[in-house]
């Protein structure tokens, strides 16, 4: 796993921990089972899905990120 992939996995874990903790219940309580939302930043896109009452965070490939990664020589994530 590349350094970039490790960093994205770490970010996803941190979001999952936050959303599944006491401070994230306000967000997760408003989602129905199977419902999702997306968080986009300059460098990554995260999809948060409510599964079994918990947040599951996935890193999603964004065309803009892909182009940036290709130029920067970073591998694409799936």
Q: What is the pLDDT of residues 18-28, one digit of tens each?
A: 999 999 999 99
> From first to last of its 78 residues, what are the pLDDT tens digits of the chain?
799 889 999 999 999 999 999 999 999 999 999 999 999 988 889 999 999 999 999 998 755 545 444 444 444 444
pLDDT at 1: 78
User: Which CATH number applies to 3-67: 3.40.1710, 2.20.25, 2.40.50, 3.40.50?
Assistant: 2.20.25
CA distances (Å), origin 37, targets 24, 47, 58, 61: 14, 6, 11, 15
Q: Whole-model pTM? A: 0.72
Query: How many beta carbons lie within 10 A of that of residue 16, not counting itself?
Result: 18
Measured between alpha carbons, how far is 38 from 48 in angstroms, rounded to an integer?
Answer: 6
Cβ–Cβ < 8 Å for 62, 41: no
Measured between alpha carbons, how far is 30 from 50 in angstroms, rounded to an integer?
Answer: 10
Q: Which residues contact 60 (CB under 8 A, 6 or more apart)?
A: 38, 45, 46, 47
Residue spans of the domains in the chain: they are: 3-67
């Amino acid at each position: 796993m590349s350094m970039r992939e490790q960093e994205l996995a770490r970010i996803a874990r941190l979001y999952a921990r936050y959303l599944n903790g006491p401070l994230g219940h306000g967000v997760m309580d408003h989602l129905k089972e199977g419902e999702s939302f997306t968080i986009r930043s300059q460098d990554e896109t995260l999809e948060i899905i409510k599964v079994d009452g918990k947040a599951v965070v996935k890193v999603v490939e964004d065309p803009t990120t892909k182009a940036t990664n290709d130029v920067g020589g970073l591998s694409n994530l799936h």
